[in-house]
Structure 1
Amino acid sequence: MDRKWNLMSFAVVLGLSEVAILILFGIFVDYGWDGTPVSLRGQFLHDSHGNPNYRGPGTSAQELSQSRVSIPDSYSMFQDVHVMIFIGFGFLMTFMRRYGYGGVGFNFILASLVTQWSILMRGFFEMPENHYRIRLDMNKIIAAEFSAGTILISLGVVLGKLSPVQYVIMVVVETVLAMVNEYIVLYLYGAVDVGGTITIHLFGAYFGLALARTIHRREWSTDMFNDLKYGTHYNDLFSMCGTVFLFMFWPSFNAALAVGDSRYRAIFNTYLAISSSVIGGFVTCWIVKNGKFTMDIVQNGTLSGGVIVGSVCTLYLYPWGSILCGLMAGVISSLGFHYVTPFLDRRWGIHDTCGVHNLHAMPALFGTFISAIVAACATPEVYGSSYFLLFPNFAPSNTSQDYFALKQIYPDLLPGSGRTPTGQAANQLASLITTIGIGLIGGVLTGAVSLR
């Protein structure tokens, strides 16, 4: 009976989770502006205290005009992100010789679950007073894909170590914590993080690492367990397919939620950064491996350029700066695979199945510091009319005379908090500390309470 229940428990837990989501969607979720007939769009125009820097549609007429993302402009990028999540991440995990099916399968299942669950969780944070409906639009769909990316990063740390039911518990809990962290970072701190360096890569990596340490078993560090990772040529080829898909579509991932001229900068900066991280990864691998290329570095370290520029991709990083950041990320990530991963496993009991610390955590740390530097250097002379769009908190409050003067120049300007570039840099760093803290505490508590 116990064995039969263990076999059926995954289907029961997953099915009940979907039923709960179905009920919540029925109560709270409706179509947004683009999916609503023109005659009924007046219901969107109500008061709100929403921050335009936070992902999601605005709720006043002015905010709607600024934050709406139309289907023709965004659906192609959504499809690119979709490919990254379900093909890129999925096939990247097929490098494991005896767990390739599990890597692709659980990637498919958990990402599908998280995209629905995160729409609800994010919607609850954005829900305005006295209007208890979550309005579905392209921003929310794309942001749901980003949430799936956060979960899959954590999955890469503990791949092959949990039962199917434990995976479901992990992603349900982590999604809630990820939305809390996103609300704090993007809404309360007003951090610039369009590409998710802080809220996606940093959070997902440290949650997974803390979880792996909490549930650590000594046998995971033995050669017998790690035999899972010794791939055949076919495993490595499938994993390289995932790497190439991620490489191709990463500019869309970073630019999907950007608007105006900042979307072009996001594409340009990401393209140059990830291309140069390939060069940095291969060169470093060749040096530390004595004239050889190893698949763990080639499959993962070469992608780190997309991570490091996620927070600054919409800003004036300049083309040479993008190349420098990507090259640095490729070197750092590759050195991490060679030196840091064995050290964490041997000395700290942190067994990182997919090397998430090297691809996501370390480049995200450096990327956040870079975002603080770039934000501190921001000036109206450089950004022009994009200055207050990229840094909405720089705008004066609506009680200031400066605000009304600027309103004559920028008719769509929304009131801010009068933050300085130095203050923005401080908030970028505060976001780093907060994200690491929530990720570590969340991973430890999830492992200690639910998954041991």
Structure 2
Amino acid sequence: MSSNYPNFRSSVPWLIFFLEVVFIVLFQFLFTGDGVSRSSISYPAFQDVSHMVIFGFGFFLTFLKRYGFSSTGFNLLIVALGVQCSVLIDLLVFFHQRQDEDDLKRITKASVSMTAVVISTGAVLGKANPLQLILMTVVEIIVFHTSRWINKTFLEVPDNISMMYVPLFGAYFGVAAASRFSEPPPRSEKNASTPQSDLLSMLGTLFLWVFWPSFNSVLAVNDKSKAIFNTYFAIAASAVTAFVLSALITEDGKFRMAHIRSAVLAGGVAVGYAAHSIEYPWIAMVLGLLAAVVTILGSCCVQRCLNATFKIRDTAGTHFTFGLPGVLGALAQVVLLVMKNWTDLPRLSYLVIIEVGTFCLTISVALITGFITGLILNLKLFKTIPVSKHFDDQFCWEFPRLAVGF
């Protein structure tokens, strides 16, 4: 550990211990043990979501050549703390509506909610220390549930639909928070990848790709099979499109792992809002194709503009991997509503206002609170990592000996 961090041991472990004690006390008072015994969600469905959050995102973020320990280890830490926090916040915010909800559904929704946090983590990957990540997790979980409460209470958005705004919220919260972190040195090579780190990251992508249909369908009230069916064909179309575009836009005509890693998931993100209601699979496939196009073009154009204009250093490219496909999916949902209800103009106007309002509110809350959170996390109190130590496992992890080439 760096000598600039003499108080690291006295802050992070005790913060983790304090939070765990608080969670234990709150669970003692809030859970009476007389909840619904029969769950509306199967354990295999919960396992799929848990695999996504732990294995999928844990390995998805290992593309940095010197940040593999931190990517997987810190991901496990914030998920373990965040799921507990999310269950408690969900119970407190929706106390009157959740008295008859079974425990397996609670923990499944908490795991889905944690997707927003792990997506945001990708934007500040390699820059935030464990203390900052833990605080960001608690703040983001609280803000996300508050946003859902507003959508459900005032806009009357169904509970399962409001949860599908997780990738959109997480992406823009993370991008806003990342804008307050220091830029890496111009000639730094630590924020690059190697064939080995790209392979591990692709392993995480495969986990996410396989389990994304479960993610989009696990909380669906009706037509779970339709949501699985549409999600699969959407991510299949985005995967094929990713390979096509990657070969077309590279100078030597070869596939680029960064393109494949980010774009193959775009279809699952974009179709999440309407997966349960799309009648024909070709619609989901077209949406998956467009999502992959938006992702890859965004990685080439939009990201460079953001870096140059707003000085936003999104380490994992969460904006074009999850944010832009989420925006596309929200807009596609509006188009599908217009096509389905075009003969009933009064009802159509109401539905469009609700969809657009939910979309705008989610992004606005994510951007504003993410920006404020980024400002708070960069106070001296939270021991910001020096720029020279960004993207380096050795700053927080013990190595028995420094291996050559590490």
Bin for the TM-score computed over the shorter chain:
0.7 to 0.9
C-alpha contact 2:123 2:314 (8 A) present in aligned 1: yes
DSSP 3-state at the match of 2:333: helix
Give the Cα–Cα distance (whole angstroms) in 2 for the partners of residues 160 and 443 of structure 1: 17
Give the Cα–Cα distance (whole angstroms) in 2 for the partners of residues 289 and 180 of structure 1: 43
Task: Provide Cα deviations, 1:1-27, integer angstroms capped at 9, x if missing partner.
Answer: 984422331111111111111111111
TM-score when scaled to structure 1? Answer: 0.78
Pair 31,371 (structure 1): closer, same or farther in 2 beyond 3 Å: farther
Letter in 1 for 2:233: L
Determine which of 151, 162, 182 is the counterpart of 1:217: 182
Give the Cα–Cα distance (whole angstroms) in 2 for the partners of residues 353 and 183 of structure 1: 30
DSSP 3-state at the match of 1:146: helix
Give the Cα–Cα distance (whole angstroms) in 2 for the partners of residues 440 and 313 of structure 1: 26
C-alpha contact 1:91 1:104 (8 A) present in aligned 2: yes
C-alpha contact 2:160 2:221 (8 A) present in aligned 1: no
Q: 1:52 — aligned with what?
A: none
The question of 1:145 aligning with 2:111 is answered yes
Task: Provide Cα deviations, 1:199-242, integer angstroms capped at 9, x if missing partner.
Answer: 301111111111111x2323x26231xx2332222211111110
For structure 2, the 5+ residue unaligned runs are 380-406
| Shift of residue 367, structure 1, vs aligned partner | 0.5
For structure 1, the 5+ residue unaligned runs are 36-67, 382-393, 395-418
DSSP 3-state at the match of 2:60: helix
Task: Provide Cα deviations, 1:243-275, integer angstroms capped at 9, x if missing partner.
Answer: 111111100000001133x11110011000000
Determine which of 314, 320, 329 is the counterpart of 2:282: 320
Q: 1:53 — aligned with what?
A: none
C-alpha contact 1:203 1:439 (8 A) present in aligned 2: yes
Task: Provide Cα deviations, 1:382-430, integer angstroms capped at 9, x if missing partner.
Answer: xxxxxxxxxxxx9xxxxxxxxxxxxxxxxxxxxxxxx824312211110
Task: Provide Cα deviations, 1:76-124, integer angstroms capped at 9, x if missing partner.
Answer: 1111111100000000111110001100011100011110101111111
Q: 1:235 — aligned with what?
A: 197
Determine which of 220, 235, 253 is the counterpart of 1:258: 220
Pair 221,229 (structure 1): closer, same or farther in 2 beyond 3 Å: same
Letter in 2 for 1:322: A
Q: How does 1:432-447 map to 2 (within 5 A)?
A: 432-447=359-374
Determine which of 169, 173, 195 is the counterpart of 1:203: 169
Letter in 2 for 1:342: R
Q: 2:264 — aligned with what?
A: 302
The question of 1:424 aligning with 2:351 is answered yes
DSSP 3-state at the match of 2:221: coil
Letter in 2 for 1:250: W
Pair 92,148 (structure 1): closer, same or farther in 2 beyond 3 Å: same
Determine which of 286, 296, 302 is the counterpart of 1:334: 296
Q: Which moves more between the two structures, 432-441 or 292-301?
A: 292-301
Pair 300,31 (structure 1): closer, same or farther in 2 beyond 3 Å: farther
The question of 1:451 aligning with 2:372 is answered no
Give the Cα–Cα distance (whole angstroms) in 2 for the partners of residues 358 and 17 of structure 1: 33
C-alpha contact 1:29 1:136 (8 A) present in aligned 2: no
Give the Cα–Cα distance (whole angstroms) in 1 for the partners of residues 225 and 100 of structure 2: 30
DSSP 3-state at the match of 1:139: helix
Give the Cα–Cα distance (whole angstroms) in 2 for the partners of residues 363 and 307 of structure 1: 6
Letter in 2 for 1:287: L
Give the Cα–Cα distance (whole angstroms) in 2 for the partners of residues 151 and 116 of structure 1: 13
- The alignment's C-alpha RMSD in Å is 2.4
Higher helix share: 1
Pair 14,293 (structure 1): closer, same or farther in 2 beyond 3 Å: same
> Which has the higher Rg, Structure 1 or Structure 2?
1
| Aligned positions, number | 375
The question of 1:127 aligning with 2:111 is answered no
Q: How does 1:340-351 map to 2 (within 5 A)?
A: 340-351=302-313
| Shift of residue 334, structure 1, vs aligned partner | 0.9
Q: 2:245 — aligned with what?
A: 284
Give the Cα–Cα distance (whole angstroms) in 2 for the partners of residues 297 and 195 of structure 1: 29
DSSP 3-state at the match of 1:95: coil
Give the Cα–Cα distance (whole angstroms) in 2 for the partners of residues 3 and 157 of structure 1: 23
Pair 89,197 (structure 1): closer, same or farther in 2 beyond 3 Å: same
Q: 1:102 — aligned with what?
A: 70
Q: 1:164 — aligned with what?
A: 130
C-alpha contact 2:167 2:326 (8 A) present in aligned 1: yes
| Shift of residue 145, structure 1, vs aligned partner | 0.6
Structure number with the bigger relative contact order (C-alpha 8 A, sep ≥ 6) is 2
- The percent of aligned pairs where both chains have the same amino acid is 33
DSSP 3-state at the match of 1:30: coil
Letter in 2 for 1:441: I
Letter in 2 for 1:235: S
Give the Cα–Cα distance (whole angstroms) in 2 for the partners of residues 335 and 377 of structure 1: 27
| Shift of residue 190, structure 1, vs aligned partner | 2.6
Q: Report runs of 4+ in structure 1 exceeding 6 Å deviation.
A: none
| Shift of residue 317, structure 1, vs aligned partner | 4.4
| Shift of residue 343, structure 1, vs aligned partner | 2.0
The question of 1:118 aligning with 2:111 is answered no
C-alpha contact 2:151 2:162 (8 A) present in aligned 1: no
Letter in 2 for 1:16: F
Q: 2:384 — aligned with what?
A: none
Q: 1:85 — aligned with what?
A: 53
DSSP 3-state at the match of 1:353: coil
Q: 1:375 — aligned with what?
A: 337
C-alpha contact 2:165 2:273 (8 A) present in aligned 1: no
Give the Cα–Cα distance (whole angstroms) in 1 for the partners of residues 102 and 78 of structure 2: 21
C-alpha contact 1:30 1:135 (8 A) present in aligned 2: no
